[in-house]
Structure 1
Amino acid sequence: MPFHLILAIALSSVIGLSLGLLGGGGSILAVPVLVYVAGVTPHAAVPMSLAIVGTTSLVAGLLHQGSGRVSLKAALLFGAAGMGGAWFGAKLTHLISGRVLLLLFALLMLVVGSWMLAPFTQRLVAGSEQSEGRKPHLVLTLVAGLGVGGLTGFLGVGGGFLVVPALVLFCRLPIEHAVGTSLYVIALNSAAGFIGHPGGSRLSLGLTIAFTAAALVGAVVGHRIATRMHPQRLRSAFAWFVILVGAGMVARTLLSRG
């Protein structure tokens, strides 16, 4: 096996590690690794990312459920709206060029990295405590689910960085339950996006399985670490890494020809 594929598969374990540890964030690396390291075309990378992230999120969600940190009702409610958005978003991907797709993805990485660096965690924890016992907001939950699902299907990202705060604010979940529940939402959205994606038939089955296996190992390790440490420092370091990768993608895409 060529070295660049070995490297790409090894890097995919970071995706699973982030999902298991932080409940999101790692999926933002799937497309860049597939395109720039594994040599997959942008339009084929999106459905591959959905398959990898969806499967890994499902397993990570089962691990969190075993720890009693998942609300199935909230996952189904948010995910039901998200699946429709993901299917529709997947249908729009083929309308833009691969270069534009990568540029949009890179800009999203800059937004995600900045979002992760902002001091949202303390506010979310405080908000979840204040929301305890309050009734969930059905309309806002469905609207948020639809929007996040569209982003998942269009760019091949899990959207956990948006799902977690939405579950806290609209479904009134404690932050630790929102993290676990978001993994099931990501799995549902990824499945719908993959089914609706016109590039699904072009993916490499062997490479997808290898990526998924490595990501699953990372997810198991991440879940075990999450039970023993506070992930805030890792979240900050990971956010800076995402920003650097996004900036590099912007520069490379703008400087490339065609």
Structure 2
Amino acid sequence: MTTAMLLAALVGLGVGVVVGALGAGGGILAVPILVYLLGQDPHAATASSLVIVGMTALASILFHARRGNVAWRDGLVFAACSTVGTAAGSRLSALVPAAVLMIAFACLLAVVSVAMFRRAAATQREEAAHARRPSGAESPAPAARSLSWPVLVATATATGALTGFFGVGGGFIVVPMLVLALGLSMRRAAGTSLLVMLVASAVGLLSRIGTDVHVDWGVTLLFALGSMAGGLLGGPLSERARPSTLTLVFASLLGAVAVFTLAETLLG
């Protein structure tokens, strides 16, 4: 086994833990790793990332499904609405210069990092409020939310476009949207997002057929296998660690990768 393949498997393990714990983060971490650590072309990396995201989601969803944390109908509806955006984004990605693709990706990382920091702060406030409640007191029931179909369809289409264009699973958008639009709990939304990622990854790969993009299957599959193993570990981790801690670590990691990606693209 070459050094690159061993490194791919080990790094994939770490990425899989993040996906299994948060229901997001696979592609958004895999792309810069494939480009800057494993030396892949950015266009090839986005295609490889879809393979990794899909296989990792498949492994990670098993844990959540056994615990009833996957809303199958809602997830399939969201995934179906995202397919048009995924197909369009996949075709557009192949037409964009590699440097522009990575600069745009760095900007996406920065935006998601800020959003995740805000979510971590909100989650910390909720955890503090829960800790102050008397022992045995029940948490207040969440307010009922009505399904806004225009918002859901628009967000699903935008998520699909990001999946196709950047090779990301889109879980960082799917999770909060499932919470806000469908009223799912964070844990159930994380599980359901894996179903959406499965469908979106498959559509993104199929949409790349006929484009001039080549995948290094040896490195990609080892990365994916390591990521699948990490996904199995990340599921139980999500039940043991505080959600705010996981989210804060993820946000910090994204911010660091955003700065590195932008610096490498502009100065490298």
Q: TM-score, normalised by structure 1?
A: 0.91
Aligned pairs for 1:57-136 (under 5 A) are: 57-118=57-118, 119-121=121-123, 129-132=141-144, 134-136=145-147
1:206 and 1:235 mapped to 2: Cα distance? 31
Cα distance change on mapping 1:91 and 1:56 into 2, 3 Å: same
* Gap regions ≥5 residues in structure 1: none
Does residue 186 of structure 1 match 2:197? Answer: yes
The answer to whether the Cα contact below 8 Å between 1:21 and 1:231 also exists between their aligned partners in 2 is no
User: Which residue is equivalent to 2:250?
Assistant: 238
1:202 and 1:158 mapped to 2: Cα distance? 20
Of 236, 257, 268, 1:224 maps to 236
User: Which residue is equivalent to 1:19?
Assistant: 19
* Gap regions ≥5 residues in structure 2: 130-139
Cα distance change on mapping 1:166 and 1:202 into 2, 3 Å: same
Q: Secondary structure at the match of 2:89?
A: helix
Q: Following TM superposition, where does structure 1 have runs of at least 4 consecutive aligned residues deviating by more than 4 angstroms?
A: 122-126, 198-201
Percentage identity across paired residues of the two chains: 37
Q: Secondary structure at the match of 1:18?
A: helix
* Higher RCO (CA 8 Å, separation ≥ 6 residues): 2
| Alignment deviations for residues 80-110 of structure 1 (CA, whole Å, 9 cap, x no partner) | 0112211111010011111111111111111
1:89 and 1:170 mapped to 2: Cα distance? 24
Number of equivalent positions:
254
Cα distance change on mapping 1:150 and 1:19 into 2, 3 Å: same
Of 143, 148, 151, 2:159 maps to 148
Name which of structure 1's ranges 179-188 and 192-201 shifts more when overlaid on structure 2: 192-201
- Aligned residues: CA RMSD: 2.2
Greater Cα radius of gyration, structure 1 or 2:
2
User: Which residue is equivalent to 2:263?
Assistant: 251
2:204 and 2:16 mapped to 1: Cα distance? 19
